[in-house]
Amino acid sequence: MGQLNSMTGFGRIEAQAPDGQLEIEMRSVNHRYLDLQIRLPEGFRAFEQELRQLISTSVKRGKVDTTVSFSSYQDEKHAPQLNLERAREVVAQLESVAHQIANPARIDPMAVLRMPGVLEESPIDIDANLAATKDALQVALEQLMRSRATEGTKVRALLEERCRDIETIVAGVQQRLPSVLTDIRNRIQQRIESLQVQVDQERLEQELAIIAQKLDVAEEMDRLTAHVAEVRATMDSDEPVGRRLDFLMQELNREANTLGSKSADTETTQAAVNLKVLIEQMREQVQNVE
């Protein structure tokens, strides 16, 4: 039995990297195709392509938002370095501006430190941190896939239940079909008798046969049964099946509509309505299947 996966999932992991603390969060929702959105901290932009490839090996469809956060260690090795030359330039620029002011405020050393380029972040080890990021992402991705599988199992159970309900309705319509056609024939004959007119019996039989053929829904019932069997077979596939299931929902709905248009009694009409309700419930769930 194949695993039916939902496109809704979540994964999160905190991990240690050589130069800091990593936090990776992944969320996925339904989408027609695979749409990967990755937000990376400064210094990690070079990782994006490899991370995309890693995600796409497991996720085939859905909108996946991945956020990577990184906090540098606060120790001597990783402490920002003071660029004294840049600090002198900033002070000189501030003093130049101060000369243009009647009563200038005192230059704040903390304001100088906050200026761009005065405090330089320690460079990170790209290769070492990429390896740690990929390892952490793999863990978050596995959580995401387990979450999608869990949701997919729930969807599968609902689809199985609706398939059984459809089969029950189809069996009921098939069982009643001979009596429905007989009732239609009797009503037409009673109507003719009430009119007290002479009719060509052979022509009447021909017309009754044509009417019965137009109202016969045996083929629609057979196709509904076949489509339900195909839904089950599709769910057993090991490949992403969302688009295939969506197509089958359209086919099921087409047969239910035909049944309603051919209906000759209220019970068959109600059966067609009930079928459309079940199929719509299935379609809503199928929209979220990978």
Q: Are residues 130 and 206 in the same domain?
A: no
* Residue 232, domain extent: 154-286
Q: Are residues 100 and 135 in the same domain?
A: no
Q: How many CA atoms lie within 13 A of 100 on its CB side?
A: 4
Provide the pLDDT confidence category of residue 44 given band limits of 50, 70 and 90. confident
Q: Averaged over 117-125, what is the pLDDT?
A: 69
Q: Are residues 88 and 65 in the same domain?
A: no
Q: What is residue 128's predicted lDDT score, i.e. its pLDDT?
A: 80
Q: Are 156 and 285 in contact (CB under 8 A)?
A: no
Q: In what order do the strands lie in the sheet with 9-17?
A: 9-17, 20-29, 62-72, 34-39
Q: What is residue 267's predicted lDDT score, i.e. its pLDDT?
A: 86
Q: Kindly provide the residue ranges of all beta strands, DSSP E only, lying in 117-253, ordered along the sequence.
A: 119-120
Q: Are residues 45 and 108 in the same domain?
A: no
> pLDDT, tens digit, for every residue of 186-240?
777 777 667 666 766 666 566 666 666 666 678 888 999 999 999 999 999 988 9
Q: How far apart are CA 227 and CA 262, in angstroms?
A: 19
The amino acid occupying position 231 is: V
Q: pLDDT: is 151 or 86 the higher one?
A: 151
Q: Are residues 19 and 62 in the same domain?
A: yes
Q: Are residues 231 and 116 in the same domain?
A: no
Q: Lowest-confidence range among 108-112, 140-144, 179-183, 250-254?
A: 179-183
Q: Are residues 72 and 144 in the same domain?
A: yes
Q: How far apart are CA 101 and CA 179, in angstroms?
A: 103
Q: Are residues 67 and 197 in the same domain?
A: no
Give how many domains the chain has, as a whole number.
Answer: 3
Query: Hey, CA dihedral for 28, 32, 33, 39, is it positive or negative?
Result: negative
Provide the pLDDT confidence category of residue 76 given band limits of 50, 70 and 90. low
Q: Is the pLDDT of residue 114 over 80?
A: no
DSSP string, 13-74: EEEEETTEEEEEEEEEE--SSEEEEEE--TT-GGGHHHHHHHHHTT--SEEEEEEEEEEE--
Provide the pLDDT confidence category of residue 260 given band limits of 50, 70 and 90. confident
Q: Are residues 116 and 179 in the same domain?
A: no
Q: Are residues 167 and 181 in the same domain?
A: yes
